Chain A
Amino acid sequence: MTQDSHVTTGSLLRERLDVQVRRLKGFWSFYRGSRIGMLGLFIIIGFIIVAIVAPLITPYDPRALVGTPFQPPMGEHPLGTDQVGRDIYSQLIWGSRVSLMVGLLASAFGVAIGTVIGLVSGYFRGPPDSILMRITDLFITLPGLPMMLILAALLGRSMWNIIFVIAITGWTGTAKMVRSQTLSIKERPYVEAARSVGARDRHIIMRHILPNVFPLVFANAIVGIVDAILAESGLSFLGLGDPTKPSWGQLLRYANEAGALATGRWWFIIPPGLCIMLVAIGFAFSSYSLDQILNPRLRKRRW
């Protein structure tokens, strides 16, 4: 008897896993067909590899004063040195770490906040919904960058504060989207059925609603990464980044402070911005393709 029920549970689990694997395979075959999406994925993987092997491919400690200031690109310093003699190339390579880390974590936190608020709001309706939606409206209204600047200035300059500031200002889109999805999924027959046999709210949310909103939440998270990477670079450029970690935005700040513009030192200005743009493009391309695949409205048409 126990043996039997064990087998059943086991096979049920296996079946569920199979469904997930089949779903994932179906998704991948769609995604592989998108050239823009694959290009984006390759760019992302490229930057992740660079970030991981940063210590192996940089000749210097990015924070150490290793040469005379303001050297143009030359043998020992492929991108020259900054105003205090740090190696620009080493700072550039290490910058990928901050960019990816802040991008991924800030977006993940923001999407998590938005998903919880959207689920609660859409599932329970009533007063919690009204309150949560007014709060959401408030956060939509707050001017994004000024808000981030003020918060970052008040909290102090560290990478975790930057992540917090970006997440706390960037969850509203997800909340609105998850809420409207929840509202529509809640009315579907199988959810009604689950409720009529006495399934609890928690069970319904975790089993029926969350899995259905997850694909769109995921797509949202990818767009969120683009926004978070750009926000981090902007905050660092304005001097609110973590002073202990080299980042691309900070490099551009140094360039600006050192008057690299007026003196035409392009090697100080072009590479960091290009890196920000490339890594953001990687995620933007992926998100565009995800949107084409996950959005059933769009899937029907080829482009």
Chain B
Amino acid sequence: MGLKEYIGRRTLQGITTILLAIILNFILFRIMPGDPTRVLIGDPRVETGTRLALIEKFGLERPLLEQFILYISNLFSGELGVSFAQMGRPVIEIILGRKMVNTLVLMGSSMSIAFLLGILLGVIAAWKRGTKADISFIIFSLATYSMPVFWFGMILLLVFSVYFNVFPIAGTITPGVTHPNFLAYASDYLHHLMAPMLTLAVSFFGGYFLFMRDTILDVFTEDYMLTARAKGPMVSLMGVHVTFLISGATMTETVFSWDGLGRLIYDSVRTADYPVLQGIFLIMSILVVVASILADITNAFLDPRIKEAVD
């Protein structure tokens, strides 16, 4: 199977998965107990005019199949409904904006740190396997894996924000401050980023480390060339890990009041803001599918044997 064919096939699988996610997303919010549809129609926070327009737009009083077709066609024109909690603001506008940027910055930076440290220490541990250093690394990484992310965040806040006062306690920038220039803004932002980034990085380090160490040991025992083979699995691992990252980010953002999508999920669950939840859910599924396809393709590119192993 050629690389092009593999990419084509993988993309097709990805599209199927996204379509299934869309269907599930639709079903989840209309058939589940608690009847979100009734919530959608009857929520008192939405003005009568807007509500009637919504009922019309999503065909909420028509048969389910028609609703589904309308839902799909609305989806393709970028219409995801309006938020209950935020005075009828369009969902798409809430999701694709500052919050998304904040989440991507937090996820990207912490993942990079965890990834680099995981590789570095994984190689060292594999190199010195069986020594005290190796065993302490293993125990440390198992311990960080077993730690509730949100609790580690709370401990960091307790120590560094409450006792020593070196990190700010919440938010993405200091409230009420007008920054004279971009540099001042950026440094304030970074200052706020430190603790949540550290939290998320520590929680992801363990997985990367153990995986890297294992892969390298495999390579040792099989007498393979070291780096070339190890690169592949790491990339594919990153693709799958996007879902874990989202989970970790949700907890971390909630603890640190980081103004991102994770925090938005929590707020929306609390305020029963179903349209927003549905929107985030969809966008995240697409994000994960795209990430895992990209990872698989990179993988196949790095190691031609992989695409033969996929059936």
Q: If the complex has contacts A269-B154, A270-B155, are A143 and B145 also in contact, measured as CB distance less than 8 A?
A: no
Cβ 8 A contact of A237, one of B20, B150, B169: B150
- B residues 60-91 touching A (CB-CB < 8 Å): none
Q: If the complex has contacts A141-B17, A300-B221, A303-B130, are A273 and B148 also in contact, measured as CB distance less than 8 A?
A: yes
Cβ 8 A contact of B243, one of A140, A153, A255, A256: A140
Q: If the complex has contacts A141-B243, A240-B269, are A281 and B21 also in contact, measured as CB distance less than 8 A?
A: no
CB of A6 within 8 Å of the partner chain: no
A155, B33: Cβ atoms closer than 8 Å: yes
- How many A-B pairs with Cβ below 8 Å? 169
CB distance from B230 to the nearest CB of A (A): 16
Contact string, A147-166, partner B, CB cutoff 8 A, digits 1/0? Answer: 10111011110000000000
CB of B217 within 8 Å of the partner chain: yes
- B residues 10-31 touching A (CB-CB < 8 Å): 13, 16-17, 20-21, 24, 28
B34, A156: Cβ atoms closer than 8 Å: yes
Q: Which residues of the other chain, B, contact A249 by a CB distance below 8 angstroms? A: 148
CB distance from A198 to the nearest CB of B (A): 29
A226, B145: Cβ atoms closer than 8 Å: yes
Cβ 8 A contact of B13, one of A137, A277, A302: A137
B17, A154: Cβ atoms closer than 8 Å: no
A141, B32: Cβ atoms closer than 8 Å: no
A264, B163: Cβ atoms closer than 8 Å: yes
Q: How far is the CA of A261 from the CA of B254 in the complex (A)?
A: 14
Q: Which residues of the other chain, A, contact B254 by a CB distance below 8 angstroms? A: 238
Q: How far is the CA of A301 from the CA of B218 in the complex (A)?
A: 10
A149, B138: Cβ atoms closer than 8 Å: no
A156, B143: Cβ atoms closer than 8 Å: no
Q: How far is the CA of A133 from the CA of B139 in the complex (A)?
A: 35
Cβ 8 A contact of B277, one of A150, A237, A264, A276: A150
B17, A137: Cβ atoms closer than 8 Å: yes
CB of B95 within 8 Å of the partner chain: no
Q: How far is the CA of A277 from the CA of B162 in the complex (A)?
A: 23
Q: If the complex has contacts A143-B246, A149-B269, A238-B269, are A273 and B151 also in contact, measured as CB distance less than 8 A?
A: yes
A276, B243: Cβ atoms closer than 8 Å: no
Cβ 8 A contact of B16, one of A134, A155, A301: A134
B162, A261: Cβ atoms closer than 8 Å: yes
Q: Which residues of the other chain, A, contact B269 by a CB distance below 8 angstroms? A: 149-150, 153, 238, 240
Q: Which residues of the other chain, B, contact A230 by a CB distance below 8 angstroms? A: 146, 148
Cβ 8 A contact of A277, one of B33, B146, B265: B146
Q: If the complex has contacts A138-B17, A273-B148, A277-B147, are A143 and B243 also in contact, measured as CB distance less than 8 A?
A: yes
Q: Which residues of the other chain, B, contact A266 by a CB distance below 8 angstroms? A: 158
Q: Which residues of the other chain, A, contact B162 by a CB distance below 8 angstroms? A: 261-262, 264
B146, A281: Cβ atoms closer than 8 Å: yes
Q: Which residues of the other chain, A, contact B155 by a CB distance below 8 angstroms? A: 269-270, 273
A155, B32: Cβ atoms closer than 8 Å: yes
CB of A280 within 8 Å of the partner chain: yes
A297, B146: Cβ atoms closer than 8 Å: no
CB of A144 within 8 Å of the partner chain: yes
CB of B301 within 8 Å of the partner chain: no
Can you sample 8 A-B contacts with CB below 8 Å?
Answer: A134-B17, A140-B240, A145-B251, A146-B246, A264-B158, A273-B147, A276-B148, A288-B142
Report A's interface with B, CB cutoff 8 A: 36, 134-135, 137-138, 140-147, 149-151, 153-156, 226, 230, 233-234, 237-240, 249, 252, 255-256, 261-262, 264, 266, 269-270, 272-273, 276-277, 280-281, 283-285, 288, 297-298, 300-303
Report B's interface with A, CB cutoff 8 A: 13, 16-17, 20-21, 24, 28, 32-34, 36, 129-130, 134-135, 138-139, 142-143, 145-152, 154-155, 157-158, 161-163, 169, 214, 217-218, 221, 240, 243-244, 246-247, 250-251, 254-255, 265-266, 269-270, 272, 277, 280-281, 284-285, 288-289, 292
